[in-house]
Amino acid sequence: YINEDPVRDFYMREIVSPVTRDVEILDNQTLEQKKMLMFGSNGYLDLANNDEVWPSIQEKVNKYGIGLGGPPLLNGYTTLHKKLETKVAQLKNKTGAMLFSSGYTANLGLITGLTTKKDLVIFDEYSHASLVDGIKLSQVKSRFFTHNNMEMLEELLIENKPKFRNIFIAFESLYSMDGDTAPLNKIVELAKKYGAYTILDDCHATGVMGEKGTGGCEAFSTSVDFIVGSFSKAFSMTGGFICADESYIDYLRVFSRQYMFSTSMPTLFVAGILSVLESYEKNKVALLKRIKSHREYIMQELKQKVTFAAIPEASIVVLRVPSKMDITVINKEFHSRNIFVNSIHYPAVPIDEQRIRISLMASHTSEDIAYLVKNIKEIWLKYNLN
Ligand code: PMP
């Protein structure tokens, strides 16, 4: 080895090809290029590099260009931006939608735009950093409930209802570091019972959860007040959005500072997302079926042999690694077998909860999945990890 620096070796890996089911990387250890099977991308549907998408992007860019000169309220709103808002509102079954340059800023924009010091946000402890940062920035009061703990959520609602003007409950449909889902129906039921608003981070579920892939609400046949999403996961692009009733969106357009004072998503990105969505509409049935069959095969092959962080419900499979094991050794094993996975450890998760995170893509072949499974079995056996 040229060096033995796990941070340099297994994080910030330099990819020298498109990110699809396999990638070419510049190996930090050998300084040579090598091909790896990609199980570390959130681009679950692998739509960003297919041949259908490029001509469609080109056509849009020819008409609208690539960039803008300001935020949407003043001068950063094209027909493409409007079209994308309409499409995303339809996808989420809402009357309004607004775009942000990332899912991160969408969460900041929602919490800071929506809440005041008289309100309370009650959130699942596994909520994404962007939700927590939104709370910090807005200075709204907050309490958390332990992951998916509905009794605790109800206690917090009972205790705090008389003390605050509005209560918002924030949670995710698909948790990215465990692969499990929230009990959406129960949360919505409690919100109704105690007159609270619901805020759903649907970033990882958008495109992959539910029969039609529209996200958490479809999967649980329910509806929430506010949905935050990202185009950076299943749709392989960058950009975020909020969907809600149009009146809330009109309000947020002027009260969300991340929206009002920041230049719009570049037209090039919007063209890319729209083109990806067109391809998604045509192909989603087959794509979703493949992810499901990959997931089922993995569970069937590994259920006796590994500890899943949770039962995988969509495109994320997470394997726990005992805390006594140096997880970089495990990542090195995957790396040397040309499998790109993500090792997640402190400070991203508590010290005793380290894990290997595997992202399934619709473009993976059955052979790719079989190769992954075979290697997991070998590595788990070699290090006695179960
Ligand atoms: N919410 C969740 C649950 C996420 O996992 C992420 C991305 N890691 C975000 C929000 C932020 O999305 P983006 O990458 O588009 O900024």
Of all residues in the chain, the percent with pLDDT exceeding 70 is 98
* Closest-CA residue to 111 (of 89, 88, 85, 139): 139
How far, in Å, from the CA of 104 to the mean position of ligand 1? 6
Average pLDDT of each block of 10 consecutive residues along the chain (386 residues)? 62 91 91 96 90 93 96 96 98 98 98 97 97 97 98 98 98 95 98 98 97 96 98 96 98 97 97 96 94 96 93 93 93 95 90 94 97 98 93
Task: Report the pLDDT value the prediction gives residue 48, as an integer from 0 to 100.
Answer: 77
Please name the residue whose Cα sits nearest to atom 12 of ligand 1. Answer: 103
Looking at the CA of residue 240, tell me the nearest atom of ligand 1. Answer: 15
Instruction: Express each pLDDT in 24-59 by its tens digit.
Output: 999 987 889 999 999 999 999 998 787 889 999 999
Instruction: Express each pLDDT in 100-113 by its tens digit.
Output: 999 999 999 999 99
Q: Ligand 1: which residues within 6 Å by Cβ?
A: 102-104, 107, 128, 130, 172, 176, 201, 203-204, 230, 232, 240
Task: Report the pLDDT value the prediction gives residue 1, as an integer from 0 to 100.
Answer: 41
What are the residues whose beta carbons fall under 8 Å from the beta carbon of 303, sequence distance 6 or more? none
Task: Report the pLDDT value the prediction gives residue 143, as an integer from 0 to 100.
Answer: 98
How far, in Å, from the CA of 118 to the mean position of ligand 1? 27
The DSSP annotation for 259-285 comes to HHTSPPPPHHHHHHHHHHHHHHHHHHH
Cα-Cα-Cα-Cα dihedral sign, residues 269, 237, 110, 85:
positive
Give the DSSP H/E element, type plus range, for residue 124: strand 120-124
pTM for the predicted model, two decimal places: 0.96
Task: Report the pLDDT value the prediction gives residue 24, as an integer from 0 to 100.
Answer: 97
Q: How far apart are CA 329 and CA 248, in angstroms?
A: 49
How far, in Å, from the CA of 204 to the mean position of ligand 1? 8
Looking at the CA of residue 175, tell me the nearest atom of ligand 1. Answer: 3
Task: Report the pLDDT value the prediction gives residue 58, as an integer from 0 to 100.
Answer: 96
How far, in Å, from the CA of 289 to the mean position of ligand 1? 24
How far, in Å, from the CA of 377 to the mean position of ligand 1? 31
Residue 194: strand, helix, or coil? helix
Give the DSSP H/E element, type plus range, for residue 159: helix 150-160
Instruction: Express each pLDDT in 149-208 by its tens digit.
Output: 999 999 999 999 999 999 999 999 999 999 999 999 999 999 999 999 999 999 999 999
Pocket test for ligand 1, best of 123, 175, 230, 258 (most atoms within 8 A of CB): 230
